[in-house]
Amino acid sequence: MTEKMPLIGEKAPEFEAQTTQGKIKFPKKYKGKWVVLFSHPADFTPVCTTEFVAFQRKMGVFKKMNTELIGLSIDQVFSHIKWTDWIKEKLETKIEFPIIADDQGEIAKKLGMIHPGKGANTVRAVFIIDPKSIIRAILYYPQELGRNMEEIRRMVEGLRTADKHKIALPANWPENELIQEQVILPPAQDQATAEERLKRANKGEIECKDWWFCYKKLKK
């Protein structure tokens, strides 16, 4: 029986784990950093192999966003090591982020990563966790579909931007079909704020489709 999956806005579950880079206490080790914690069904499988190469090739981009990558599956650490050795030898890609060896499945249960209809393997889950150890986003992919690393990068960048500027972001940001790279001001919660928004729009400080749909360019 799987445990309840954590929800967006909750603290990330605490656990100790063996990884390919030694033992860690999570999320304590990553306090002050963003984290992309992702599970894969199993080592030595083709879709997972393509994902790990793709994550590794984006690792520098994530690092620039103060973001750490951590993998996880229900495999022993020896399996992780042999698999990453194979990836390095055959695909000329060194996996530099840690991989949790959850061979008892206890961590996967805490995170709701085991689908009862998919046997004992972990599903393709992604948890984006902020520097305060709060879960900010959760993605679930089926076993037959590999993840889109660019979307995961976009999500981390978007969450960081939203936190910094206290704004929201439109669909497909920063290439939205209506407002392009501009960002959305949170909807006015009272009449005075709504009126103030329209005054700012008249002055050219912001743009508005209406009082509840206002947006602006971020200052570089």
Q: What residues are labeled active site? A: 48
| SS3 state of residue 140 | strand
Which residue in this structure is represented by tokens 């042999």? 82
Single-letter code of the amino acid located at 69: L
According to DSSP H, which parts of 92-190 are helical?
Answer: 106-110, 149-165
The phi, psi pair for 144, rounded to 5°, reads -85, 0
Nearest-10 crossing angle of helices 77-91, 46-64: 80
Give the helix/strand (H/E) hosting 71. strand 67-73
Per-residue DSSP letter, 182? -
Q: How far apart are CA 170 and CA 178, in angstroms?
A: 9
Which residue in this structure is represented by tokens 């329209």? 198
